[in-house]
């Protein structure tokens, strides 16, 4: 099984596909903002699900415990995949313009891509429909200077998350010292430890897959 990205293709085992999908799903659930998409992993997982379905269809002992266990695993994988995509769309719906702005900003900075092509199209259509609705019921009745739709910016420094360190040699988290606004606190992120931190201080480590949100 291969996983495609913008640079190269690398071999990846089914177990690693599932591990990365679980991590992406759990982090997306716990993160206060939209994370870079992992549809490369979803494509691999869908192939895995289709292979399992084909194998189950060929089995003759339909009522065996092994077949039932495989079907349960299949339903679990399908749920994780669907829930991951649903949660991302819910975040996009909350503020499609911010999602599009952050997507463009990350592309310009050479960072990992925030939105898939399908999500970008969804955000553009949702933002357009939202603007048309607001224009009809509200903005159209105001002076032209008030027609611009504001784009709120998330204050990730105020959002707290529980973060579990998954690897060795993870970069330390820098946390503001709220007793001294001119100082900062360095939090060592040792493997296996769990911390309650501002999301912004571990955002990079989360996106790298080296920290898991709880």
What mean pLDDT do residues 33-50 have? Answer: 92
Band (60; pLDDT cuts 50, 70, 90): low
Chosen domain end from 112, 129, 154: 154
Residue 119, token pair as written in the block: 């999500």
Same domain, 200 and 147: no
Are residues 134 and 214 part of one domain? no
Per residue in 148-172, pLDDT (tens digit) is 666 667 767 678 999 999 999 999 9
Same domain for 19 and 59, yes or no, is yes
pLDDT tens digit string along 110-152? 999 999 999 999 999 999 998 877 766 676 666 666 566 666 6
Predicted confidence at residue 2, as pLDDT, reads 52
Residues 175, 199, single domain; the answer is: yes
32 and 105 both lie in a single domain: yes
Expressed as residue numbers, the domain containing 163 is 155-214
Same domain, 56 and 126: yes
Cβ-based neighbours of 84, under 8 Å, separated by 6 or more = 21, 24, 25, 28, 38, 42
């Amino acid at each position: 099984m291969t996983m495609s990205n913008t640079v190269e293709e690398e071999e990846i085992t089914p177990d690693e596909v599932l591990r990365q999908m679980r991590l992406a799903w759990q982090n997306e659930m716990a993160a206060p903002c939209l994370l870079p998409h992992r549809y490369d992993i979803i494509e691999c997982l869908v192939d895995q699900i289709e292979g399992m379905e084909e194998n189950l269809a060929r089995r003759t002992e339909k009522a065996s415990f092994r077949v039932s266990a495989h079907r349960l695993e299949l339903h679990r994988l399908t749920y994780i995949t669907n829930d991951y995509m649903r949660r991302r769309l819910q975040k996009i719906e909350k503020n499609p313009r911010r999602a599009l702005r952050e997507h463009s900003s990350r592309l310009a900075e050479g960072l990992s891509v925030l939105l898939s092509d399908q999500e970008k199209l969804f955000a553009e259509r949702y933002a357009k429909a939202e603007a048309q609705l607001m224009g009809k019921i509200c903005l159209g009745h105001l002076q032209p200077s008030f027609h611009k739709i504001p784009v709120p910016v998330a204050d990730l420094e105020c959002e707290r998350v529980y973060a579990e360190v998954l690897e060795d040699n993870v970069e330390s988290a820098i946390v503001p010292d709220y007793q001294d606004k001119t100082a900062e606190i360095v939090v060592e992120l040792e493997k296996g430890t769990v911390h309650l931190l501002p999301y912004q201080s571990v955002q990079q480590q989360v996106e790298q897959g080296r920290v898991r949100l709880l």
